Structure 1
Amino acid sequence: MTDAAAPEDGAAPLRILLLEDSDLDTELLTAVLEDAGLAVAIERVITRGAFAAATARRCHDIILADYVLPTFDGMGALATARENCPEVPFVFVSGTLGEDVAVEALKHGATDYVTKQRLDRLPRVILRALAEARAHLRRRAAEQALRDLNESLEQRVAVRTRELAEANAALQHQIAERERIEDALHQAQRLEAVGQLTSGVAHDFNNLLTVIAGNIEFLERAVSDDRSKRRLDMMRGAADRGARLTAQLLAFSRRQKLAPVPVQLNQTVASMRDLLQSSMGGSIRIEMTLQPDLWPALVDATQIELIILNLAINARDAMAVGGCLTIETANLRLEAEPARPEEPNPGDYAMVAVSDTGTGIAPDVLARVFEPFFTTKEVGKGSGLGLAQVYGFVKQSGGGVRIDTVPGEGTSVRVYLPRVAADVAPPAPRPVAIDCARLRHASDKRVVLVVDDDSAVRDITTTRLGEAGYAIREAGSGLAAIQALETDPCVDLAVLDFAMPGMNGAEVAAVIRSRWPAIQILFVTGYADHTAIARIDGGGEDRVVQKPFRGEDLERKVASMLEPRPRLALVSGGAEAPARTAGPVRG
């Protein structure tokens, strides 16, 4: 046997399924295999059913089949074997198998054939068939292993690709986070540098103003002629405006003096509805969404009112054709670190948001809105200190501010104020009676507050009223006037320009009527909505002076409103306002 090796000694016998109807041929075939040294275990079958059952068990190493059978032929047996056990070698052993039939059998899946006249070839054919079957099985196993390897390789590649994608995404996130932190750091450093600069400028400027205001006071004692006094009044008004400017700079640099107390923001917002409605005008609808059981906020009560009013006026200016102003309060527990320096740190906050449906803020503008003196409004329409003041106030109060905006859709400014640590009930606002008459001498001049954004017009007004014998104080805007009255409410008459940027005269009058009702109000205007003026305490033509002034119309109406002189006892509805007998108005 040269074509295939014989089984090793001690190996299991070859399991042969023999399809043969001749007993003699069966004995002869068995003897040939035994003479060749092959250990065999032969299962002999004759009928179609027995052969089909045996092949279905798939327990044989090789099938030997005669071609001519009593009930069916060898080709039928071959078909049955290929169907039931296709991996088992099939060898025809027949005495009548011609060459043509043998070729046809090989085409249909037979492994080999041996004629019964040449049974001496049978052992070698069996061993070769078994070797080929084993090689075929090993090849199939290798092919399957290769397929499995390819599949596992694809899976490993997919897993590795996913891991690399996740690592890349994490790296990109880290890079983006680092860039965000660097941008926030740069902005914080820039704002801090500007804050230190403005703080230093404000400090030095206040020192200069102190010298100027003090010397004005000394000169007033030594000067007797009216013209010089009028000039000193103008100088004092300029010093007052400088003081208000430094106050805003100190607010941005977080150096202003605050008096934080527990405040119920819901009550603050609700009490401002009438003021806000008069400030917004009829084309803007005001909605309030106030959260029940709102946490008390630790904040300066007066300053938060000015902050809300400031944000509402900014929102109104962004809604030139009308819209909706929404004021919302909420309890918020923040856990995320701030993305920008103006945003709050993690913690518990009482939040108040002022939202509008206006033009929104462009991204390049949004990056600079908290910088002092930065404004997109026309010259004379804004100082650029409004949001800077908000920024400084909330940061000094321990909170933060966040702006969400979509150009063309609107803006929401959220102010986060620190929650009162303990459940301390905020004190109810107690009106403080201020008896201005007791603080004055009978010979003191009547005090008139002139509010006009046009410095040239304001100079004319203050000069005429100063020459008429009144003590003059002045303010260049509605907010400045309110801040002035917070400092010193002992004013007999407020002369208000109607058309001013920010708060107009009617809006300023509404605040004065609600907080300092004893102060008389006179409007000066070149063009005014008399309907709006009439709503202010039923004011009519006797409370309006038309620009340009005709004759002594201004002085006459001021005199008619201030004579006879009543005894003033002002009531301040918010925090206690200190009473003063003299000195400039501080904005």
Structure 2
Amino acid sequence: MNGTATTTILNVDDTEAARYAKSRTLRHAGFEVVDAVSGRDALAQMEALRPALVLLDVRLPDISGIEVCKEIKRRWPTTMVLQTSATFTSAADRTRGLEGGADAYLIQPIDPDELVAAVRALLRLHAAESSTRALNESLERRIEERTRALHQSNIRLIEQIAQRERAEAVLVQSQKMEAIGQLTGSMAHDFNNILASMVGYIHLVQRMAGDAKLSALLDKALAAAERGKQLTLRLLAFSRSNDLVTGPTDVRALLQGMRDWLQQAVESAITLELDVPAEGELVALTDANQLELAMLNLVLNARDAMPQGGRIRIEAAAQELAQVEGELGAGAYVVITVADTGTGMAPEVAAKAFDPFFTTKPVGRGTGLGLAQVANVARLSRGGARIDSEPGRGTRVALWLAAGSGAATAPAPARALPEDLAGRGERVLVIDDEADIRRTMGELLRGNGYEVLSAADGGAALSAYADFLPQMVLLDLGLPGLSGIEVARRLRQIDPKLPIVFVSGHADRELLWTAVPGARLLRKPFQSEELYAEVRRGLDEKDGEAPGAQTD
């Protein structure tokens, strides 16, 4: 092992001549040698120098060389020990020395070449063991790093799987809502036409009836029809996403304005608390009218969950999300929370609470549309609805609405009816594919002083226009063949100032007003006064050359 001048060897021997001979041989071979004359001296040198190899005599003046070897191997197990002795030379002595931890055993006097060869052999073994240990440590580090990387990858994979499952659940829910929306939209359209026909006939009978009892019964029939209208509005609230006209809405003013109304809606045994901060902006991008309906639905649901009384607490606060949380994107929100102390819901019930037509109420007590409307308002306000409930511990529903800024609006007050609703012989064209609606609208308008012509579709209406020259047009949006919007556009090309009132139960107001500027919208089913008012307003504004208003 020439060229190993930096390798230090500790030579331990209390006999000066023997110690000198071994040190001289090793130094001549290129090793650095440090001498020790006792066991304690050897251990002290080991602590200070940490040599790669110890040349250790068995017989020492203070501690047996075998005991010194055991201590070295206990404290510095990688150090090589070459035991030597001129006294203990039997096979049993060599066995005891090797079992004590020595790596080799030589009998003195030692041939110099044998000593150097033995030392070099042990140092090669020491180097190989050191290399193996380093390799093992490197492998252990690499295995640990790889294990850590795999663990992190596994965590990421689990998160991605969870995200995918959430996305799939949202997609399934979205598809389900879309399918239900199409179904309920179609149902609401047909139901509105039926209601419109019924209400029209009731008004006709009411106008002819002279008996007070009959009139009272007809008033009750109209009230029942109005409840049917509210049901269709709830259906349309989540089936027609583009029917929600969002804008900056002052949530603080809206909730404070509803306080008395909501208090009247709950039982006297229920305490209603409203906690809205006096300072700071609470403006949400939503439809104020639909938000009012959502709050009423939440409060009524909370009331029904507390038959023995309790407390309903409404809170509103601004919230900021730094990152995406489920269906909610990062950004600013106004969060309205309605919490009750009622019976609560089981997890499987809470999971379905926002589904349309899902209800746990007895037959006749609920339609399953209240919370569906709440969720739809939140979704169309670029937010979401969350529910936290537990049996016996009440329910907490949070309505997240995208925050807005600028001038906030409150629900627009209902427009006053014109003082004179009577017709003056003006010509009105009624276009609707439902024969009953055409008939009842025609009779009501004729009885109110108008000349009326009816048409079942757009083609017939355009043909009749040239002969009849109407001063006002009432038309259904969903006509067979030419759509109501296309008919309106063609009539406006003939007469740009022609007053037009769309009669529909589920019109897209923004699209309607964009396609036919100045057109009005009369919701089916309608009261006779509402019909007279829209016709009168349109005719009066045309006569005064005022622009048509966009009313609902």
Same fold by TM-score greater than 0.5: yes
Partners of 2:32 and 2:243 in 1: CA distance: 110
Are residue 395 (structure 1) and residue 379 (structure 2) matched?
yes
Alignment of 1:434-583 (within 5 A): 581=529
User: Any conservation in 1 of the 2:12–2:56 contact (CA below 8 Å)?
Assistant: yes
Residue aligned with 1:409, SS: coil
- Note the C-alpha offset of 1:194: 0.3
Partners of 1:145 and 1:103 in 2: CA distance: 33
Per-residue Cα deviation, 1:207-258 (whole angstroms, up to 9, x for no partner): 2333333344344445556777666556544433332221211112136855
User: Any conservation in 1 of the 2:244–2:287 contact (CA below 8 Å)?
Assistant: yes
What amino acid is the match of 1:326? R
Partners of 2:262 and 2:29 in 1: CA distance: 109
User: Any conservation in 2 of the 1:287–1:326 contact (CA below 8 Å)?
Assistant: yes
Partners of 1:243 and 1:40 in 2: CA distance: 110
Partners of 2:198 and 2:165 in 1: CA distance: 48
- Note the C-alpha offset of 1:351: 2.0
User: Any conservation in 2 of the 1:251–1:389 contact (CA below 8 Å)?
Assistant: yes
Give the 3 Å change call, closer, same or farther, for CA 228–148 of structure 1 in structure 2: same
Alignment of 1:328-343 (within 5 A): 328-337=315-324, 339=326, 343=327
Are residue 312 (structure 1) and residue 299 (structure 2) matched?
yes
Aligned partner of 1:321 in structure 2 is: 308
Are residue 76 (structure 1) and residue 47 (structure 2) matched?
no
- Note the C-alpha offset of 1:384: 1.6
User: Any conservation in 1 of the 2:265–2:300 contact (CA below 8 Å)?
Assistant: yes
User: Any conservation in 2 of the 1:61–1:130 contact (CA below 8 Å)?
Assistant: no
Residue aligned with 2:353, SS: coil
Aligned partner of 2:434 in structure 1 is: none
Partners of 2:264 and 2:332 in 1: CA distance: 33
What amino acid is the match of 1:358? G
Partners of 2:377 and 2:212 in 1: CA distance: 42
Q: Which runs of 5+ in 2 are unaligned?
A: 73-78, 423-525, 533-552
- 2:252 aligned residue (252, 257, 266): 266
What amino acid is the match of 2:281? L
What amino acid is the match of 1:294? E
What amino acid is the match of 1:269? L
- Note the C-alpha offset of 1:286: 3.3
User: Any conservation in 2 of the 1:78–1:90 contact (CA below 8 Å)?
Assistant: no
Partners of 2:105 and 2:36 in 1: CA distance: 22
Aligned partner of 1:178 in structure 2 is: 164
Per-residue Cα deviation, 1:267-320 (whole angstroms, up to 9, x for no partner): 332343344444444543333332331332244434433322221121122223
Per-residue Cα deviation, 1:50-82 (whole angstroms, up to 9, x for no partner): x969x95899999799x9xxxxxx643995799
Alignment of 1:289-438 (within 5 A): 289-291=275-277, 292-337=279-324, 339=326, 343-421=327-405, 423-424=406-407, 426=409
Partners of 1:389 and 1:359 in 2: CA distance: 22
Aligned partner of 1:207 in structure 2 is: 193
- Note the C-alpha offset of 1:363: 2.7
Partners of 1:264 and 1:350 in 2: CA distance: 10
Residue aligned with 2:365, SS: coil
Structure ID, larger Rg: 1
- Note the C-alpha offset of 1:431: 8.0
Residue aligned with 2:61, SS: helix
Give the 3 Å change call, closer, same or farther, for CA 261–91 of structure 1 in structure 2: closer
Give the aligned CA root-mean-square deviation in angstroms.
Answer: 5.2
User: Any conservation in 2 of the 1:360–1:408 contact (CA below 8 Å)?
Assistant: yes
User: Any conservation in 1 of the 2:284–2:402 contact (CA below 8 Å)?
Assistant: yes
Per-residue Cα deviation, 1:527-551 (whole angstroms, up to 9, x for no partner): xxxxxxxxxxxxxxxxxxxxxxxxx
Q: Which runs of 5+ in 1 are unaligned?
A: 1-6, 68-73, 116-121, 442-577
% identical equivalent positions: 37
User: Any conservation in 1 of the 2:199–2:527 contact (CA below 8 Å)?
Assistant: no
Partners of 1:147 and 1:206 in 2: CA distance: 85
Residue aligned with 1:285, SS: strand
Residue aligned with 1:353, SS: strand
- 2:150 aligned residue (143, 164, 178): 164
Partners of 1:191 and 1:395 in 2: CA distance: 12
User: Any conservation in 1 of the 2:273–2:312 contact (CA below 8 Å)?
Assistant: yes
> Which deviates further from its counterpart, 105-114 or 271-280?
105-114
Residue aligned with 1:272, SS: helix
Partners of 1:64 and 1:417 in 2: CA distance: 84
Per-residue Cα deviation, 1:88-130 (whole angstroms, up to 9, x for no partner): 756567xxx6977x97588567943456xxxxxx53xx32233
How many pairs does the alignment contain? 407
Give the 3 Å change call, closer, same or farther, for CA 63–348 of structure 1 in structure 2: closer
- Note the C-alpha offset of 1:358: 2.1
Aligned partner of 1:568 in structure 2 is: none
Residue aligned with 1:76, SS: coil
Partners of 2:119 and 2:238 in 1: CA distance: 91
Give the 3 Å change call, closer, same or farther, for CA 129–284 of structure 1 in structure 2: farther
Give the 3 Å change call, closer, same or farther, for CA 211–316 of structure 1 in structure 2: closer
User: Any conservation in 1 of the 2:53–2:123 contact (CA below 8 Å)?
Assistant: no
Give the 3 Å change call, closer, same or farther, for CA 378–134 of structure 1 in structure 2: same
Partners of 2:52 and 2:164 in 1: CA distance: 71
Partners of 2:32 and 2:221 in 1: CA distance: 130
Q: Normalization by structure 1: what TM-score?
A: 0.55
Q: Normalization by structure 2: what TM-score?
A: 0.58
Partners of 1:41 and 1:345 in 2: CA distance: 74
Partners of 1:327 and 1:44 in 2: CA distance: 88
Partners of 1:26 and 1:395 in 2: CA distance: 93
Are residue 112 (structure 1) and residue 106 (structure 2) matched?
yes
- Note the C-alpha offset of 1:164: 2.2
Partners of 2:271 and 2:187 in 1: CA distance: 41
Aligned partner of 2:180 in structure 1 is: 194
Aligned partner of 2:485 in structure 1 is: none
User: Any conservation in 2 of the 1:276–1:309 contact (CA below 8 Å)?
Assistant: yes
Aligned partner of 2:203 in structure 1 is: 217
